[in-house]
Amino acid sequence: MHPSTSASIRTILPLALVTGVSMAAMDLYLPAVPALQLGMGISVPLAQATIAVYLAGLAAAQLLWGELLNRLGPRRCMEVGLALLALTSLGCALAPNIETLLVLRLLQGVAAAAATVVAPSVVRATLADADVVRGIAAISMVEAIVPAAGPVLGALMLTVVDWRGTFWVLAGLSLLVLPWVVKIAPRQLPGLNLAHDASYAAILRNRSYLRLALSHALCIGALLTFLASAPQLLQHALGLGSSAFALLQVLGVGSFMLGASQSGRLAKRLGHARVVRLGASAQVLACTLALLGASLGHLPYAAVVAYWMCFCGSLAIRGPATFVDALAVPPAQMGRATAMLILALLAAGALGTQLVAPFLGGEGSAVPVFCGVLVQLLASAALVWRYPAPPAAR
């Protein structure tokens, strides 16, 4: 094995694992929500609030960890984040009432946000250019697997433990990966120069970063918009149930993993600009065809599956290259740049989901969903069609 390949694996694997553990705090927990409701004797809205406050903490803490990355360094951020994730998981497992659980779930979201900021920053800053796309792709693969496998594993766990057992497992996983991640995370980002202007204003003045970050955020926003709307779309427009959505998820994840396994090789062979344009074109074409079928009143399930597989596979090809080029900023800016990028994609997903939500529930719901997705994809493609030079990382 080539030395650089071995070094990249030692860096990527622990960071991918810690990303997976952080995401499991949501996806492993989801099946336990009804059991929590019954166990605590609370209402459905209160039980669902344990999901909402976690997401609120995750989103709000992006900027917090972006600030702390330079001040504490990647290693200390990972130590604090994973330790807090373990402690809050233990607290959730022992929570005596819903009020305590809600506070701890909020803090759990704050803890999980450390991985979303630190992991890609470390990969971008420490790996050679030949390995960095592959590193981001590997983390993306974990981010695709956990939402698909987490609820299944969580449901299986509930056959042997109650809802509190989910949090005991999360605490154990956090402590298990902590020593490994701390060992490979650098004390500070390589080349860090704190004299460099790392203000948000300076980052936003970088037009290349802005275009690449917005393009990636809109692409992920399109994904989240469709994903959040798909269960209602399948039920009301196609008359299908949860099993159809589950199959759609499995096929989408499989397509993403296949694309991600090739993204590094394609980026090296074709160049980042061509790979991103290729992925964006495929997504726009697939969505346009799906919208046309929906407009004609004939959209079979097979067409939805074909669209989703094309979308996910194309995202896996274009996404890592876009993400890597967006973060080609000075190390002093990397934490804040990553935080703003993650926050932007979460916001795009939330906004897109809410904009199409009023149109769901009828037989024609497929048309507004695909319209909303297509608008985001067209804007995303337009931002990178004349591919901006990656931000200078001086």
Q: Which of 160, 184, 208 is the last residue of a domain?
A: 184
Q: What is the average per-residue pLDDT within 153-172?
A: 88
**Is residue 363 scored above 70 in pLDDT?**
no
Q: Which structure tokens are listed for 145?
A: 């697997």
3-state DSSP percent of the chain in helix, strand and coil, to 5:
85, 0, 15
In this prediction, residue 393 has a pLDDT band, given cuts at 50, 70 and 90, of very low
Same domain, 60 and 105: yes
Task: Give the pLDDT of residue 377.
Answer: 96
Closest residue by Cα to residue 183 from 332, 74, 335 = 74
Query: Quick one: 343 and 260 in the same domain?
Result: yes
Same-domain check for residues 319 and 371: yes
CA nearest to 257, candidates 172, 346, 331, 148: 148
Residues 252 and 155 in one domain: no
Q: Which residue has the tokens 């989901």?
A: 353
Compute the C-alpha angle 228/17/317, nearest 5°.
55
Q: How far apart are CA 298 and CA 304, in angstroms?
A: 11
212 lies in the same domain as 169:
no
Residue 191 domain-assigned (yes or no): no
| pTM of full prediction above 0.85 | no
How many C-beta atoms lie closer than 10 Å to residue 154's C-beta? 21
Q: Are residues 41 and 100 in the same domain?
A: yes
The whole-number average pLDDT for the span 268-294 is 93
Indicate if 31 and 121 belong to the same structural domain: yes
1: confidence class by pLDDT, cuts 50, 70, 90 = very low
- How many structural domains is the chain composed of? 2
Cα–Cα distance measured from residue 248 to residue 208, given in angstroms and rounded to the nearest whole number: 35
The two tokens of residue 29 are 């927990």
For residues 180 and 284, membership in a common domain is answered with no
Reported as a pLDDT band with limits 50, 70 and 90, residue 4 is: very low
Each residue of 2-17: b (16+ CB within 10 Å) or e?
A: eeeeebbeebbbbbbb
- Based on the fold, state whether residues 9 and 122 are members of the same structural domain: yes
Domain span including residue 60: 3-184
The tokens describing 20, both together, are 């997976």
Q: What is the pLDDT of residue 346?
A: 85
Instruction: For residues 175 and 269, state if they share a domain.
Output: no
What is the pLDDT averaged over residues 161-175?
A: 91
- Looking at the fold, whether 263 and 330 belong to one and the same domain comes out as yes
pLDDT at 147: 67
What CATH number should be reported for the domain holding residue 22? 1.20.1250.20
Query: How many C-beta neighbours within 10 Å does residue 238 have?
Result: 17
Which of 12-16, 32-36, 118-122 has the lowest average pLDDT? 12-16
Residues 173 and 306 in one domain: no
Q: Specify whether the CB–CB gap between 121 and 74 falls below 8 A.
A: yes
Residue found under tokens 């399930």: 301
Question: 191 or 126, which is more confident?
Answer: 126
Is 193 part of any domain?
no
Is the pLDDT assigned to residue 42 strictly greater than 90?
no
Q: Is the pLDDT of residue 319 over 60?
A: yes
What angle, rounded to 10 degrees, do the helices at 129-157 and 301-326 form?
A: 130
Confidence of residue 100 (pLDDT cuts 50, 70, 90): very high
Which of 155, 184, 213 terminates a domain? The answer is 184
Average pLDDT, the chain: 84
